[in-house]
Amino acid sequence: MKYILLLILGLSGVVNANDICPKNASKIEPGHKWEESAFSKEAAMASLKKLTSVVENGDEIGTYDLPNSITLLEGYILKRDAVKAMEREGTPEGIKEFYKSGFCEFLNGAAIYE
């Protein structure tokens, strides 16, 4: 799981044209804040696989892997819902803003545990 997290963090420095949240709104220290690009379906699936194995097989999980995995899952779902709302034709602006601000507030308050 640590290698997956390092890969995600390494790739998260790449500028993503699909970012929906304003940059620099987070009050989290730079080394501990999540990049929006970290919340991908692939990362969520890797976290889900790890957590499923922990629950089903009693696998060990690192102290920081649990909160980071849960954050990846929650962040992916919030971002996915925001993107869907923003892309769906006919969605009222208030609904779009509701989903977008929900994800952005989550992103600005989520820290990476190390």
Distance from the Cα of residue 36 to its chain's centroid: 6
Q: What is the pLDDT of residues 21-58, one digit of tens each?
A: 988 778 888 899 999 999 999 999 999 999 999 999 99
Q: At residue 4, does pLDDT exceed 50?
A: no
- Helices 93-109/65-87 angle, 10° precision: 160
The whole-number pLDDT of residue 17 equals: 55
Report the predicted TM-score, pTM, of the whole model to 2 decimal places.
0.81
Find residue 33's DSSP bridge partners: 111
pLDDT score, position 70: 97
Residues 103, 75 contacting (CB under 8 angstroms): yes
Residues 50-91 have pLDDT tens digits of 999 999 999 999 999 999 999 999 999 999 999 999 999 999
Crossing angle for the helix pair 65-87 and 2-11, to the nearest 10 degrees:
40
